[in-house]
Amino acid sequence: MSAMNTPAHVSVVVIGGGQAGLSVSWYLRRDGIDHVVLERDRRFQSWRVNRWDSFCLVTPNWQCRLPGWPYRGRDPDGFMLRDEIVDYLDGFAESFDPPLRENVAVTRVAPRPGGGYLVETTAGHWTAEQVVIATGGYDTPLVPPYASAIDPSIFQMHSREYRRPSQFPEGGVLIVGGGQSGVQIMEDFHREGRPVHLAIGSAPRSPRRYRGRDATDWLHDAGHYALTIDRHPDPIKAVSQTNHYMSGRDGGKEIDLRKFALEGVRLYGGLSGARGTRLTFLPELGRNLDGADRSYQGIRDQIDRHIAAHGIDAPEEPPFEKVWEPAREITGIDMAEEGIASILWAIGFRPDYSWLEVDCFDGRGRPAFHRGVTDAPGVYFIGLGWLNTWGSGRFLAIDEDARHLAGRIAEFRARGAAA
């Protein structure tokens, strides 16, 4: 290899210039560990580009606790809007000037025969003793294979491209996916008076305010967010469960789909197939609504127990009551007959690790680690759900996760120096 093509060397390569990768960088810079952060687009790209106009945080601003950069605004109990989130993140990056290379895509990471790793990119190659993967899990938007069998007259879009209802043609819209994104986008269309149809899965829901406080405040005080995955009573469910849906809109509110049904939103079970203008749904709407309500009530019960155990004086709340029940399970409709002109897919994403040629995955192709530390020497993950606690991958616990990984990185480096 010519000198011109000789890879640059650095102790640590961090792949991903979002809040997770830059949080690790903050600690590495503090500890004097040489490193580079490689970002395929612009820093915080998903926050800048892949969020809709009305997007806001679901968790309160006080949970924004990046390293050395806690939320400093005037509304700790509020919910920052998209552009405010970007400003907060930009302020964090500018507070410590990370060694960030933007518009550099990593195309391959592979072990080197003599130890360490080769990191190939679109802007040259690097070698490093250690690699941190902070690319998240939102690489590839999920669209079912039968989407291609839908009549071409039906407009289709994934939630990643969604910004506002005006992107869609006149007529009704079917939103497929009842998680946080799906239900919040549903409300966008509903507020504009558009006919909305919503196909939901088994996503749980949460109260917003309960007994005088935001539910997340109660859960924080009760130690819920400090529960680690190795102490969780059902870790498999915790890792695989969809996020609870609620909203930070209008100062924060809970979302009860039964109330939206009373206001005219058409609800269905999960979409199971499509051809032409015909759609088929699973007969599970009632079950899915009941499941969401059980999670809602379970959180209320958890808060009640915490209040009782600590003798806290808090106002009482009326018991939960269902305001609507589906008269029957609808398992098939014709979009032309129902006036549905568009479909928005809000069924999630999957990560793409095809470039990572390192033995650090389980039998199902998912990263295998303990608190982000893999069995592959010097390879780490950060920014994924339940890396250690519920807050992993969220603003609440990224600082804690990054601090832990930085400590392990320093230990690995010290062992190498001693050898």
Identify the band that residue 406 occupies on the pLDDT scale cut at 50, 70 and 90.
Answer: very high
Average pLDDT, the chain: 96
Per-residue pLDDT at 237: 85
pLDDT at 3 over 70: no
Residue-wise pLDDT for 170-212, tens only, equals: 999 999 999 999 999 999 999 999 999 999 999 999 999 999 9
Looking at 322, 345, 368, the residue that finishes a domain is 345
Identify the band that residue 241 occupies on the pLDDT scale cut at 50, 70 and 90.
Answer: confident
Round to whole Å and give the CA distance between 228 and 208: 23
Q: Do 289 and 182 share a structural domain?
A: yes
Per-residue pLDDT at 236: 85
What CATH code is carried by the domain that includes residue 128? 3.50.50.60
Q: Do 149 and 134 share a structural domain?
A: no
Residue 290 is which amino acid? D
Q: Give the residue numbers spanning the domain of 398.
A: 3-139+351-418
Name the helix (H) or strand (E) containing 401: helix 398-418
Largest pairwise CA distance in the chain: 75
Tell me, yes or no, if the pTM score tops 0.85: yes
Cβ 361 vs Cβ 379: under 8 Å: no
The torsion angles phi and psi of 333, rounded to 5 degrees, stand at: -145, 165
Least confident span in 236-245, 265-274, 367-376, 384-393: 236-245
Average pLDDT over residues 295-324: 97
Q: Number of structural domains, the chain?
A: 2
pLDDT at 419 over 70: no
Looking at 317, 345, 373, the residue that finishes a domain is 345
Round to whole Å and give the CA distance between 304 and 283: 34
Average pLDDT over residues 388-393: 92
Q: Do 254 and 361 share a structural domain?
A: no
